[in-house]
Every structure is written in C-alpha cells, then in structure tokens.
Amino acid sequence: MRRRTFVLAALAALSPLSLRAEEKKEKKNDRLPVPGKGERYVRLPTIALELYDKAGQYHMSSIDLILLVPEEAKFSEKHLSDKMRMAFNVIPYDEYAQANPAPMVKSLALEIARKEPGSENTRDVLISKMLFR
C-alpha cells in the first residue's frame, strides 16, 4: 500500500514538469525570428479562398500571412487582405492544387503588397498557416 502511494505521489509530482516542457516547446516553435533594426512584422487577417474545380465542386482554403515591413510603413491590413483574397479567388482550383501552392501564394502576395500604397517596401511575406478543406 505504501509503495502504491509513493509511486502515485511521484507520478503526480512529475506530470506538471512534463506539461511545462511541452508548453515551452510549443512557445518556441511559434516564435518568429527577430526582425532587423527598423523592421516589424504585420499579421494580415485570415484569407478564406472559395475555389471551384472543373466538376463544380466547392473547395475552401484559408491562409494566414505575415508581412515583414519597415517600421514607418502605414497601410490598412484589412484592405490589403481583401485585395489578396480577390486575386487568389481568380486562380482555378486545378492550378492551385496541382502542386505546392505556397510559392505561388507567396510571390503573388508579395507582388500585391508592393503595389499597395504604404507597403511598397515590403521585404518578405511569410505563410503562417495554410489549410485545405
């Protein structure tokens, strides 16, 4: 009886330590590299794509993007996100899903961001999350 109590007490004491270690790993993976001097990250609102294939089937994809911009950049994240959503919805689903769409999404998003007033000096676009449904 004493052995069981000791073993249960030891397991109960170790379980919070393992949970803390897992939390630290998750937090470490969520961190972005520190931006350079005079730069900052801007998270755009989630872009939900509504795509149809040749058979008329509906497919949905959601994309979270992060822009690396200069500190002094001033622009509307919502407006930029809407412009990107409209540009991405024009892409046929077969072309979008044929291969890895990440490079295409990244290059198109960077091109649109650099054309927008206030974000002409966008340095990079990072894809935070990309889901297919």
Q: Domain holding 95: CATH number?
A: 3.30.479.30
What pLDDT, in 10s, does the model give residues 46-79?
Answer: 999 998 888 888 899 999 999 999 999 899 999 9
Model pLDDT, residue 22? 57
Can you give the pLDDT at residue 29?
Answer: 54
Q: Are residues 26 and 55 in the same domain?
A: no
pLDDT value at residue 14: 58
Can you give the pLDDT at residue 39? 92
pLDDT for the residue 52: 86
Residue ranges in the chain whose pLDDT is less than 70 = 1-30
Same domain, 18 and 53: no
User: For residue 20, what is the enclosing H or E element?
Assistant: helix 2-30
Burial of 63-88, coded b for 16+ CB within 10 Å and e otherwise, reads: bbbbbbbeeebebeeeebbebbbeeb
Structural domain including 51 reads 39-132
Tell me what pLDDT residue 96 has.
Answer: 85
Which has the closest alpha carbon to 65: 92, 83, 90, 39? 83
Do residues 17 and 48 share a domain?
A: no
- What mean pLDDT, rounded, does the chain reach? 83
User: In terms of domains, do 7 and 47 share one?
Assistant: no
17 and 55 inside one domain: no
Q: Are residues 49 and 4 located together in one domain of the fold?
A: no
Asked whether the whole model's pTM tops 0.85, one would answer no
Structurally, the chain folds into a number of domains equal to: 2
Length of the chain equals 133
- In this structure, are 25 and 57 located in the same domain? no
